[in-house]
Structure 1
């Protein structure tokens, strides 16, 4: 043994293998544990607040558990679904049936109006003779205001025909636009009959025989 080497009594004893393995080692600091609140917020991009508290950092396991809970919550969360509206394909037969019905009703009313114009045309062209026959049935004498009666007859016929043509054109336009149309000839027919009654009353009121009959009933 040389003089430079320390003796066995002065040399420190080497630790045995695994002698300090069971000793509690100091816990390793987590990432960002010793960082300042500003550094933590800058790392996770959270704006600073008045209270400079440290932002807790979730572990990987907590993040995974949180994502699983969120997914489970979304799966079991009831959704407010609105009732499905019937599609246009399902409504197509119903819509087509309504259009056929409307088309049939429209042409039927137009046909009735045309028949009314044609059937009343002869009597309107001879309105004084028609009124004379009506007077004879009620014992009112004879219709004497012939010229005025003839003018009223032509006026009624022209109004009749004009309204029917207007109803026909308007109905065809609405049918082409796939709009409800049956009410057009119906309303025009009502208006034509009201005009007919008004003009016929005017023709009778301006007749001296009719006024004499009315005064006799009142007297």
Structure 2
């Protein structure tokens, strides 16, 4: 049992025959080697982050849902925006602003607001789709467009109130 090779050191691997010889037992015949599984390729997005992360998985459906919400919101408000004077009169009925007669400023403001919201929707949809195709996060694009839409509403309403004679005096400002 004299083996010219040195015994395996700590951390080195020994064959089953070498282990059996060191233990003094008879080694079983070597079994056929088990097939090794093929290495699984790691799928990753364009930015290198794992594709399975929660934010990456939810980005596409969330972006599509936000764009769909914007489309439905614009469809819902298209009529009132294109007849904004009537919309404001109905909205202020029964309030201190009931006596205010919104005129041309409201008509023009409604059309401007519709065009701004439509432009924001189209631009944010195009940018979001482009970012989705490149594998980048895109859910924030419709959110930013929605924030700009809210700012546009506030700005247009302020301009309408300031352009309407008697609106500021009636409101008590």
Same fold (TM over 0.5): yes
Relative contact order (C-alpha < 8 Å, sep 6+): which is higher? 2
Which residue of 2 is the match for residue 95 of structure 1? 51
Please state if 1:202 is matched with 2:154.
no
User: Structure 2 vs 1, CA of residues 153 and 88 (structure 1 numbering), >3 Å: closer, same or farther?
Assistant: farther
Q: 1:141 aligns with which of 73, 81, 98?
A: 98
Q: 2:143 aligns with which of 186, 195, 218?
A: 186
| Consecutive unaligned residues in structure 2, runs of 5 or more | 1-8, 11-38
* Higher-Rg member (1/2): 1
- Aligned residue pairs: how many? 132
1:102 and 1:181 in contact (8 A); partners too? yes
2:116 and 2:149 in contact (8 A); partners too? yes
How far off is 1:177 after superposition? 0.6
| Consecutive unaligned residues in structure 1, runs of 5 or more | 1-74, 77-86
- Backbone CA RMSD of aligned residues: 2.6
Q: 2:108 aligns with which of 151, 161, 174?
A: 151
Distance 1:130 1:112 in 2: 22
Point out 4+ residue stretches in structure 1 off by more than 4 angstroms. Answer: 90-94
Which residue of 2 is the match for residue 114 of structure 1? 71
1:131 and 1:143 in contact (8 A); partners too? no
